[in-house]
Amino acid sequence: MPAYRPQEIEKKWQAHWQQHHTFRADNNSDKPKYYVLDMFPYPSGAGLHVGHPLGYIASDIVSRYQRLQGRNVLHPMGFDSFGLPAEQYAIQTGQHPAVTTEKNIETYIRQLQQLGFSYDWEREVRTSDPSYYKWTQWIFLKLFNSWYNLDTNQAEPISALVAKFAESGSAGIRAAGEDEERHDFSAGQWQMMSEKQKLAAILPYRLAYQQDTFVNWCAALGTVLSNDEVKDGLSERGGYPVERRLMPQWNLRITAYADRLLKGLDTLDWPDAVKEMQRNWIGKSIGAEVTFPVQGHDSLGVKVYTTRVDTIYGATFLVLAPEHELVDTITTPEQRTAVDEYIAATKRRSERDRMADVKTVSGVFTGAYAANPVDGTPVPIWLADYVLAGYGTGAVMAVPSGDQRDYLFAKHFDLPIPAISDAQQDLDKQADPTKEGRYINSGIVNGLGYKEATATLITFLEEKGLGKGKVNFRLRDAIFGRQRYWGEPIPIYYKDGTAYGVAEADLPLVLPEIDEYKPTETGEPPLGRAKDWKYKGQYEFELSTMPGWAGSSWYYLRYMDPHNADRFVGEDVEKYWGQVDLYMGGAEHATGHLLYSRFWYLFLKDLGLVTANEPFQKLINQGMILGRSNFVYRLNTTWSTSKTDGSPITYSSPSGIKHPTIFVTKSLYEALSEALDEGSEAANSRVEKGIRQIEAALDSKHPGYESKVASYSLGLADSFTPLHVDVSYTDNDVLDIAAFKNWREEYADAEFILEENGSYVCGTEVEKMSKSKYNVVNPDVLIDKYGADALRLYEMFLGPLEQYKPWNTNGISGVATFLKKFWRLFHPEDGALAVTDEAASPAELKTLHRVIQKVAQDIEKFSFNTSVSTFMIAVNELTALGTHKRAILEPLVILLSPFAPHLAEELWQELGHEDSISFAAYPEFREEYLVEANVTYPVAINGKVREQRQFAATATAAEIEAAILESDFLTRFAEGKTPKKVVVVPGRMVNVVV
C-alpha cells in the first residue's frame, strides 16, 4: 500500500488498539503516574460536531506525549448519562430514557474511537449505571450522616454529635448552619426525647438536610430547574413559564466549606478567570448583622447583613425580597393588593434574571415601618425583586447616598437621600460610596473616620443586642432534589413523616419502572407512579431524584477503580493516582460542576477517604470553535396573477400556480441591500432582468395566466432577508442549488438570480456552532474525506487552544496535503518504502533537533498550533534535502505520533517495530546540533552598516577585530581615516569607530 490512504490505515490501527488494549492504565505500575481527564459529555442525540473534539484532541496529545516520556497515563472516558433531555424525549415518545441514552452513547463511542483517542475504554463509567450510582447514593448517605464541626473545621459523623448531645446537650456546640433553625436543650432533655424528636433536633445539623427552599418551579416540565436552566422567566428547554416557589427540598450544606473552597483556589493552577468566578460566587465579606425592629410588631425584626455598618444613619428605607418570610405578616391591608400583584410578577422571573437586570427599577411599599436601631428613626419597608431571599438575610439596609442601586430606587420612588459624609460629592447626580472624610448626620459617629465609626457602631449594636460583627458568604447551600424520573434516586425513606437513610447494604436503590415519565395527576414527581415501591415493603421512598451534577462530582475517582464492587475506589489505588494532573473542559462549569466537585472532594477528605487536597491540580479551558455560517438572500416580493384574456380571478393560487421564492446571490445583495456603492445601478439592472426571466418561465409553465412580481424594492435595508442555509449544501460558499431545493418543501420551486459565472455564492458569518444556525459540521464527513489525523491536526492548527477560533472546512485540505508530504519522506512518489541507514547530515540533524526541542516545549505549554507549524516547516526542509534516512525519520515519526497517531503507527510498523509507537521513548534533544558553525556579522562604520561578513561561531572578539583590521574593509569604506576603536558584540555585530 505505497499510497497514503488514511481511511484504511486508521481503521486498522483503531482495531489494533482495541484488540491489544494498548492504552490500558496500570494501577500497580512502578512508573510515575499522570492522570489526564476530559469533562465527560452528556450523550445527546445529535452526536459530536467538529467543535466538540477540540479539548479531547488536546488532552490526547498530552496523554500520548506523557507515555513517550515514560509515565503511566490514565486517560479515561465516560458519560454523564442522566439528564432532562432524555426524560423529555421519553415523555414525548413513551420510550424509556435508558434506551435513548444507550443509543446516543453508541454514537458517541463510535465517533470518539474513530478520532483515534487513546482512552482506556475498560474504565468507561456511566452515571446512569446502577453499579456507578450505588456509590453516588453512598456518598449522599455519608453527607446525610455527617455534620460540620466548626471547632475542628471539618465534617464529622452524626454519631459524634449525638454523643455530645448525650453528654452535655446542645451547649457549646459550634456547627455550620443557621443557629436560628436549632433549639437548645440539656443532656437530660435529650435523653427524654423520642426517636422522632431526636431526629428532628439533628436535622438542622446534617450536611444533607431538608428545608423549605425557594426554587425555580416549572409546572409544564413538572420539576425544579437550576438557575442555568432558566432564561427570561422561561425554561431553557421548551420555553415554558417558570416561577419562584417555596417547596420542601433536599439541600447540601456547601456553605460549611465556603472558606476552605476560597482558600484552596490559591493552590490551584487554574485560569485566573475561573478562579475569580469562584471567588465572586463564594463572595466572602466582613461586616455586621443588624436587626431593625418592626414597628407595631413587638416580637419581629428585619435582620440585614451589611458590609457598611458605618452608613447605618443614612438608611432611609429597607428592601425585602418579595419571598421574605415577614412580608405576609407586616403588609398593611391598604397595600395588600399591590404587594400580592408584585409578588406574582416576581415569581415569573428567575434569580439570575433578577440579578442581571440592573436597568429596571421596580418595587412596592408594604405599608410597614421599622425602627433604625441606632436612633429609632422610622424606616419604611419596601419590596424589590433585586433582593433575593436565598442571599444573605433576604433584606437590604438601603443607603441611597452610598449605593447606586439604592440611589436609583430612592430617586424612582422619591425617597430621601441624606449625605452621611463630608467627602460625598454630586449626590444630586449619583451615589458616592466613599470611605474618606468624616461622618455627618450620623449621631454617635459624627466626626469619626471609617474605621473608628465601624468599630463604634458594632460595639453599640452588640451592647444593645441588635447586631454583631459577622463574616458572611454569598454562597448558598446547593438545592439537591429534582422532581424528575431520569436521575439517581435519593436513598431516603420516611417513617412517620421522618426521613431515614437507606442502609448501605441495600444500595443501589434502583430506579423503578413506571408507566409514564411525567408527574402524577396529583402533582407528585414521576416516581410517584411506581407501584409497590417501598422500603422493606412498608416505608415510602423519597420521590425526588438527584440533580445532574451529583454523578459528575466524583466520577474522576471512579475512573481510578471502576470495577471495584466493595469500595467507591480502592484505598491503595486512590493513593497511587492521587489527584487529576490535567483537567480539560469548559469555563462555563466554573460555579457549577467545578465548585461542587471540590466540595465533595473536601468532604471525602474529611472522612479520610481521599489523600490529596484538591481534585484537579491543573485546569485548562479550551476555547470554542465557532461555526462558519452560510446565508442565502431572499428577495422580499409580492406576486400577482391574472388571466391573459382579462377575465377576473378571485383566488390567490389559480390552477395550482405556486409563486417561487427568489434568492439573490451575494454580490447583488451586497450591491443593493444598502444601495451605497457605484455598482448598485448595474446590479439593479441584473436583478430586474432576472425577475423578468423568472416571470417568463412561470408563464410558460401555466398557459393562459400571467404572473408578475407585483412589488419589491431595491436599495432598502428590508429589501432582502438573509436566511441560514445548511453548510453541507455549500462548497467554498457556492450553493448546491439542487440540494438546497430538496432540503425543504418551501424551497422546492425556488428561483435564483446568479453571479455572472452562473453560480450562487452564499454570504458568510462566524458565530456559535449550532444546529439552529445550520453551521454544524459533522466530523464523520471530514474523516471519511480527509482522515482523522488530518482533522486532529487541523483543529490544533486553527489557533491557540484557549482562544475562540472560527471554523472553515476549506482549510483542512492544506493539513491533508502536509500528511501526504510526510508520507512521501518514507515513500517517494508514493512508491515502496525507501528509508535508508545512511548517516544524517548536519542540516538534517539541525532540522530534527529543532523539532524535538520545539514540540516538547509546545506540549508542555499546551501550544499545539505552533507544533503543527513546526512539523510543516520541518517536512518542507527535509523534502528539499531529499531526506529518506532512518536516523532522521524514525525519531520524527515518534514526535508526530501524539498529533497524527494512525499515520505514525503505520510508519513505525513499516520501520520494523512490532510494539505500538506508544511504547517508544521521546527522542533525546541534543543542543550541539543546533549550534551554527559560522555566524554572519553586520560590519558598520560609525554605526552605519556597510557589509556582512562570516566568522567562525567560536571566534573571539579579538580575533574578529584583527581580521577586520587586516582586511580591505577600511580601505574601501573608511575614506583614509584611522580607526579609533573596534566594538565587537559577540554573535551580533561589529562597529568600527573612525
* Each residue's pLDDT tens digit, 95-137: 999 999 999 999 999 999 999 999 999 999 999 999 999 999 9
Low-confidence winner among 37-41, 74-78, 360-364, 675-679 (lowest mean pLDDT): 675-679
CA distance 761 to 669: 10
Q: Is 662 in the same domain as 740?
A: yes
- CATH number, domain containing residue 955: 3.10.20.590
CA distance 606 to 149: 11
Residue 832 lies inside a defined structural domain of this protein: yes
State the pLDDT at residue 654. Answer: 57
Mean pLDDT of the chain: 92
Q: Which amino acid is present at 395?
A: A
* Each residue's pLDDT tens digit, 942-964: 999 999 998 888 889 999 999 99
Q: Helix, strand, or coil here: 332? A: coil
* Each residue's pLDDT tens digit, 507-564: 999 999 999 888 887 778 899 999 999 999 999 999 999 998 999 999 999 999 999 9
Residue 586 lies inside a defined structural domain of this protein: no
CA distance 802 to 619: 11
Confidence of residue 195 (pLDDT cuts 50, 70, 90): very high
Residue 596 lies inside a defined structural domain of this protein: no
Q: Is 305 in the same domain as 388?
A: yes
State the pLDDT at residue 715. Answer: 56
Which of the 8 DSSP states describes residue 838? P
The response to whether 359 counts as a known ligand-binding position is: no
State the pLDDT at residue 681. Answer: 78
Q: Which residues pair with 716 in a beta bridge?
A: none
Q: Quick check: 823 pLDDT over 60?
A: yes
Residue 131 lies inside a defined structural domain of this protein: no
Q: Is 234 in the same domain as 262?
A: yes
Residue 556 lies inside a defined structural domain of this protein: yes
Which of the 8 DSSP states describes residue 126? B
Q: Is 458 in the same domain as 489?
A: no
Q: If phi over 0 gives left and psi between -120 and 50 gives alpha, with beta otherwise, what is residue 797? A: alpha
State the pLDDT at residue 676. Answer: 47
State which of 719, 748, 768 marks the end of a domain. 768
* Each residue's pLDDT tens digit, 472-516: 898 989 999 888 999 999 999 999 999 999 999 999 999 999 998
Confidence of residue 349 (pLDDT cuts 50, 70, 90): confident
- Percent of residues in the chain assigned helix, strand, coil, to nearest 5: 40, 20, 40
* Each residue's pLDDT tens digit, 178-191: 877 899 999 999 99
Q: Is 289 in the same domain as 417?
A: yes
Residue 802 lies inside a defined structural domain of this protein: no
Q: Is 174 in the same domain as 313?
A: no
pTM of the entire predicted model: 0.83
State the pLDDT at residue 130. Answer: 98
Question: How confident is the model over 751-761, as a mean pLDDT?
Answer: 96
- The answer for residues whose C-beta is within 8 angstroms of residue 693's C-beta and 6 or more apart is none
State the pLDDT at residue 934. Answer: 80
Cα-based distances in Å from 345 to 178, 339, 393, 405: 30, 10, 22, 20
Low-confidence winner among 236-240, 573-577, 656-660 (lowest mean pLDDT): 236-240
Confidence of residue 648 (pLDDT cuts 50, 70, 90): confident
- CATH number, domain containing residue 388: 3.90.740.10
Q: Is 434 in the same domain as 298?
A: yes
Residue 496 domain boundaries: 139-280+477-541
* Each residue's pLDDT tens digit, 851-885: 999 999 999 999 999 999 999 999 999 999 999 99
Confidence of residue 358 (pLDDT cuts 50, 70, 90): low
CA atoms within 13 A on the CB side of 254: 26
State which of 473, 497, 519 marks the end of a domain. 473
Q: Is 357 in the same domain as 440?
A: yes
Do residues 115 and 10 make contact, with C-beta atoms less than 8 angstroms apart? no
Q: Is 301 in the same domain as 416?
A: yes
* Each residue's pLDDT tens digit, 275-322: 999 999 999 988 999 999 999 998 899 999 999 999 999 999 999 999
Domain count, the chain: 6
Dihedral of the alpha carbons of 402, 296, 330, 289, in degrees to the nearest 10: 40
State the pLDDT at residue 521. Answer: 75
What separation, in Å, do the N-terminal and C-terminal C-alpha atoms of the chain show? Answer: 68
Share of the chain above pLDDT 70, in %: 97
Nearest to 142 by CA among 683, 783, 604: 604
Do residues 479 and 249 make contact, with C-beta atoms less than 8 angstroms apart? yes
Segment (H or E) for 404: helix 404-412
- CATH number, domain containing residue 98: 3.40.50.620
Residue 502 lies inside a defined structural domain of this protein: yes
Q: Is 198 in the same domain as 316?
A: no
State the pLDDT at residue 97. Answer: 94
Question: How confident is the model over 645-670, as a mean pLDDT?
Answer: 79
Higher-confidence position of 713 and 689: 689
State the pLDDT at residue 215. Answer: 75
CA distance 797 to 434: 50
Q: Is 54 in the same domain as 175?
A: no
Burial class (CB in 10 A: 0-12, 13-18, 19+), 63: buried
State which of 891, 919, 947 marks the end of a domain. 919
Q: Quick check: 354 pLDDT over 90?
A: no
Q: Is 520 in the same domain as 560?
A: no
Confidence of residue 709 (pLDDT cuts 50, 70, 90): confident
Residue 318 lies inside a defined structural domain of this protein: yes
- The answer for residues whose C-beta is within 8 angstroms of residue 647's C-beta and 6 or more apart is none
CA distance 789 to 797: 12
